[in-house]
Amino acid sequence: MLRTPTGGAESGAPTAGDRLVSIGTVLSQLRDEFPEVTISKIRFLEAEGLVEPRRTASGYRKFSPQDVERLAQILRMQRDHYLPLKVIREHLDALARGEQIPLPAPGRRRDLAEGAWEQDAETPSPTRLGRAELLAAAEVSEAELVEWELYGLITPMQGGGYHAETVTVARLVANLGRFGLEPRHLRAVKAAADREAGLIEQVVAPLRRHRNPQTRAHAETTAQDLAAQSVRLHAALVQTALGIRLQ
């Protein structure tokens, strides 16, 4: 997929060579690079005005190649730079005006499709965030964070602060809240995640205790690979249970 900046609705009417596709096709195209993206996420970005697909007479969304690339660009800025939507919107608007605004150096990136962590060689990103940093990065309020902590959806690390991935958790909990899912509804999801993490730990625990240093080092890679497969299995099971038919 090309990484040149594009602008959804600003791109104007599609040319003869553009092929408009459904939201399900967009999801399939994006999941190679963003395995955790969902239809709800795409709809949320549309609701926030970051992408504006066309609509058929019957109301179905139709996305142009420019819309798909714009979505990919938004997801990259969230994944690689932890940028809030307000900053992403300003950056895209600047690109549409022909301006070049440098992005922050990429930080630690989780790529579940590959089951690995990638670290920027020159600018390490902290794995521990302060409370104010978490609130700013996730674009949530203090009251929301307090409520999520009460329900166990977000937990500080030992010694204080939050793991960097907590930003993703907070954003997803906030997004689900816009669909009417309250923290009490998500306790079962958290419990399932804890059980999956415990199962993975059982598998890798013997590797961590092994005498061979290379085997011990392999434990982290194995854990991330298992996590990737677990996430994919969970998504497949949910979609199978719902019997989703993508439009």
pLDDT digits (tens, 9 = 90+) for 9-62: 444 444 444 689 999 999 999 988 888 788 888 988 888 889 999 999 888 999
For the cut 80, the answer to whether the pLDDT of residue 4 exceeds it is no
- Check residue 165 and give left, alpha or beta (phi > 0: left; psi -120 to 50: alpha): alpha
pLDDT for 47 equals 86
pLDDT for 129 equals 85
Higher-pLDDT residue of 169, 104: 169
Measure the CA–CA gap between 106 and 77, rounded to whole angstroms. 9
- 40 and 80 Cβ atoms separated by less than 8 Å: no
pLDDT for 114 equals 33
Instruction: Classify the C-alpha dihedral 72-76-79-82 as positive or negative.
Output: negative
pLDDT for 229 equals 85
pTM: predicted TM-score of the whole model, two decimal places: 0.48
pLDDT for 104 equals 64
Nearest partner of 66 among 26, 97, 111, 31, judged by Cα: 26
pLDDT for 105 equals 59
- Check residue 12 and give left, alpha or beta (phi > 0: left; psi -120 to 50: alpha): left
- 91 and 101 Cβ atoms separated by less than 8 Å: yes
Measure the CA–CA gap between 179 and 185, rounded to whole angstroms. 12
pLDDT digits (tens, 9 = 90+) for 67-111: 999 999 999 888 887 777 888 888 888 888 888 777 765 544 444
- 81 and 104 Cβ atoms separated by less than 8 Å: yes
Estimate to the nearest angstrom the gap between the alpha carbon of 125 and the chain centroid: 17
Q: Which of 7-16, 60-69, 223-232 has maximum average pLDDT?
A: 60-69
- 177 and 185 Cβ atoms separated by less than 8 Å: no
Nearest partner of 2 among 71, 62, 81, 55, judged by Cα: 71
Measure the CA–CA gap between 61 and 56, rounded to whole angstroms. 7
Instruction: Compute the half-sphere exposure of residue 108: CA atoms within 13 Å on the CB side of its CA.
Output: 14
* Residue 84: other Cβ atoms inside 10 A: 17
pLDDT for 122 equals 36
pLDDT for 126 equals 47
pLDDT digits (tens, 9 = 90+) for 107-161: 444 443 333 333 333 333 446 788 888 898 888 999 999 999 999 999 998 888 8
Nearest partner of 51 among 78, 30, 36, 73, judged by Cα: 73
- 244 and 21 Cβ atoms separated by less than 8 Å: no
Q: What band does 173 get if pLDDT is binned at 50, 70 and 90? A: very high
Measure the CA–CA gap between 189 and 230, rounded to whole angstroms. 13
pLDDT for 44 equals 85
Set out the domains of the chain in order of their start, with CATH numbers: 9-104 (1.10.1660.10), 110-242 (no CATH)
